[in-house]
Amino acid sequence: MKKLLTLALLFGAVTAAHSQFAVQVAKPVRPLPAIEHVVIISVDGLRPDRLLLADMPTVRAMIKEGTYTFWAKTTAVSITLPSHTSMVTGVIPRKHGVEWNRDLPFSEPVYPNVPTVMEMATKAGYDTAMITGKSKFSILNKPGTITHVHLPATGNSTNDDVAVNAAKIIEEFKPGLTFIHFPDVDATGHAKGWGSHEQLAMIEKTDGQIAQVFAALDHAGIRASTFILLTSDHGGAGLTHGADDPRSRHIPWIVVGPGVRKFFDLTQMADLEVRTEDTCATACWLLGLPQQPYFDGKPVFAAFEHAP
């Protein structure tokens, strides 16, 4: 009897160990099953009126095929790092705690006070990616929270570097969630001015690099099942961008994908004001992730044909 009991306990231990390593947690149930992938593209410093003036065939196709507003709002501070952190955490800077805008020599790594959408998606079983053109985005790369990361070791890289590496990651890994940041429009604004001919030319060049991302989705065979969101962190005026300046605070918000309304201007909804924090909330909703009670953003349901 004692021998039988020992064998039973041993069998139970082996079974439990096998279950722990062999059973995978199911991904969340997505509200729109046709959307299997989410791509967030941020063009740093892209002021909406400059986008509309520029020759951007890729983005204009997004507008015709999707839902858009050129009156979305970024954070009141309207600077890169706090605004992007709000974009991917769904909360204002006071909550996420990232209120500086450059690489700082911290004695230990510092990360936002709340998880990014990449972290939430990774924990839920999705393959995730972040490709950025500024090294200061390392504060979003908390170890173990993003599957695939490409960012410069120091300083800034270029749109070309971002586009090439984003395409490689998309084609090889087909992430469930990808965040892409293009830096050059902002860099040109600081060097030559917002509204300058040089910045307009850079905006037009950036359209071609966005097209490279679309081509990668095609090559990976996932374009038809991907929700793409194009936005920015701030605009600008003169050689800079500033707190609560309308020229800095207004940003584009353009989405396309399965189930998205076609050629639909969100300003038709008079009581709807899209905010950068809504980007995180919308991505969470599409991936079946919970809306956190601390979120300042909310899903933009009006962008979809059938939504709550």
How is the chain split among helix, strand and coil, in percent rounded to 5? 45, 15, 40
Buried b (16+ CB within 10 A) or exposed e, 230-258: bbbbbbbbeeebeeebebbbbbbbbbbbe
Stretch (H or E) spanning 170: helix 159-173
Q: Which bin fits 115, alpha (ψ -120 to 50), beta or left (φ > 0)?
A: beta
287 contacts 28 by C-beta, under 8 angstroms: yes
Q: What is the pLDDT along the chain (308 residues), one digit of tens a residue?
A: 444 444 344 434 333 333 333 345 678 999 999 999 999 999 999 999 999 999 999 999 999 999 999 999 999 999 999 999 999 999 999 999 999 877 767 778 899 999 999 999 999 999 999 999 999 999 999 999 999 999 999 999 999 999 999 999 999 999 999 999 999 999 999 999 999 999 999 999 999 999 999 999 999 999 999 999 999 999 999 999 989 899 999 999 999 999 999 999 999 999 999 999 999 999 999 999 999 999 999 999 999 999 88
pLDDT digits (tens, 9 = 90+) for 261-292: 999 999 999 999 999 999 999 999 999 999 99
- Write down the pLDDT at residue 54: 98
pTM of the full structure = 0.91
Token pair recorded at residue 263: 């050629």
- Write down the pLDDT at residue 16: 34
Mention every residue, 6+ apart, whose C-beta is less than 8 A from residue 249. 73, 74, 76, 78, 234, 235
81 contacts 136 by C-beta, under 8 angstroms: yes
260 contacts 304 by C-beta, under 8 angstroms: yes
In order of their start, the domains of the chain are 34-303 (3.40.720.10)
